[in-house]
Amino acid sequence: MPKDPRSHRLEGRLTVLHRKLSHFYAVSEAVERALVELCTREVRFERQQAIVEAGEAYQAVYLLAEGWVTRFKLLPTGDRQIINFALPGDFVCFNATLFSKADHFLTAKTPVRAYAIEKNPFGKLLALDPALAVALTWANAHEEALLAERLASLGRRTARERVAHLFCELWRRLHLIELTDNDRFPLPITQEDLADTLGLSAVHVNRTLRQLRNEGLIELGTNHVRVLSMRGLEQAAGFEDGYLHFTEVGQLR
């Protein structure tokens, strides 16, 4: 069936965000138009390139089209805590509309393609473009919900539960934007990254991954994970997906 010209135009540019938002609410034409109009300036970041550093002024808000972005804090001790990974369809640096300076680091984990959106103060953005303001606010609240769940992992889950929970979450986030491949999902991060995300040591992560593999729940490839039993992984994690607020996400069983 031929698509209308608008959806064609969206196809190459905003599909991931559209897919993501459409799982949350009916994306109006106003939102689509807003995004198409705003996302004209394509930018690229190389692997490991800083997007913004803690203490710096934000340059722009970005809508991530391809690649992974790491949000992290560096403590005075030199320790690193990864806050989260931004995936395609996520806004990066949305705090640029609200805060003058970044309070953490954002770095391209893989080669990144994104659309830069002018960093209007939120109040102005809201007058200029209410639809984009709604999308940004949803993304912001969604990120907050993810961090709250991660807090539960770091505070009260075992290493096995933490790793399994993160994999369940990543699988769903990636599946939503159609970046899973049957039972496989991309994981372009190291065991050290996992450790710094989950409050564990790299050695502990390594042991935990081996355990999950030995239990027949996952298989680890180069830059990807194969989930052999999603139900088993969910049970290992005590995973309940309500906090993701995805309504129509397909389930891998």
Nearest to a copy of itself of 12, 155 (CB atom):
155
Kindly state whether residue 18 participates in binding a copy of itself, applying the rule CB under 8 A: no
Kindly state whether residue 103 participates in binding a copy of itself, applying the rule CB under 8 A: yes
Nearest to a copy of itself of 11, 154 (CB atom):
154
Stretch that binds a copy of itself, among 58-66, 108-116, 148-156, 222-230 (CB under 8 A): 148-156
Nearest to a copy of itself of 81, 113 (CB atom):
81
Kindly state whether residue 197 participates in binding a copy of itself, applying the rule CB under 8 A: yes
Question: What are the distances in angstroms from CA 224 to CA 4, 77, 118, 120, 230?
Answer: 35, 31, 34, 37, 15
Q: Which residues within the stretch 218-237 sit at the binding site for a copy of itself (CB under 8 A)?
A: none
Helix, strand, coil shares of the chain as percentages rounded to 5?
Answer: 45, 20, 35
82, 69 Cβ separation under 8 angstroms = no
Kindly state whether residue 156 participates in binding a copy of itself, applying the rule CB under 8 A: yes
Q: Which of 1, 4, 12, 77 contacts a copy of itself by CB under 8 A? A: 77
DSSP 55: T
Nearest to a copy of itself of 179, 237 (CB atom):
237
Q: Which of 196, 208, 209, 217 contacts a copy of itself by CB under 8 A? A: 196
Of 87, 97, 86, 116, give the one whose Cα is nearest residue 57: 97
Encoded tokens for 242: 């309500």
Cβ 139 to a copy of itself shortest distance, Å: 10
Of 185, 179, 173, 133, give the one whose Cα is nearest residue 149: 173
Dihedral Cα 100, 106, 108, 114, nearest 10 deg: -30
What ranges in 177-229 are assigned the alpha helix state H?
Answer: 191-198, 202-214
Kindly state whether residue 76 participates in binding a copy of itself, applying the rule CB under 8 A: yes
Of 39, 46, 45, 40, give the one whose Cα is nearest residue 18: 39
Kindly state whether residue 192 participates in binding a copy of itself, applying the rule CB under 8 A: no
One-letter amino acid for residue 177 of the chain = I
Kindly state whether residue 134 participates in binding a copy of itself, applying the rule CB under 8 A: yes
**Residue 72: beta bridge partners?**
82, 105
72 — phi, psi (to 5°)? -150, 160
Kindly state whether residue 75 participates in binding a copy of itself, applying the rule CB under 8 A: yes
- Residue numbers of the site for a copy of itself (CB under 8 A)? 54-55, 71, 73, 75-77, 79-81, 83, 94-95, 98-99, 101, 103-104, 122-123, 126-127, 130, 133-134, 136-138, 140-141, 143-145, 147-152, 154-157, 196-199, 238, 240, 242-243, 245
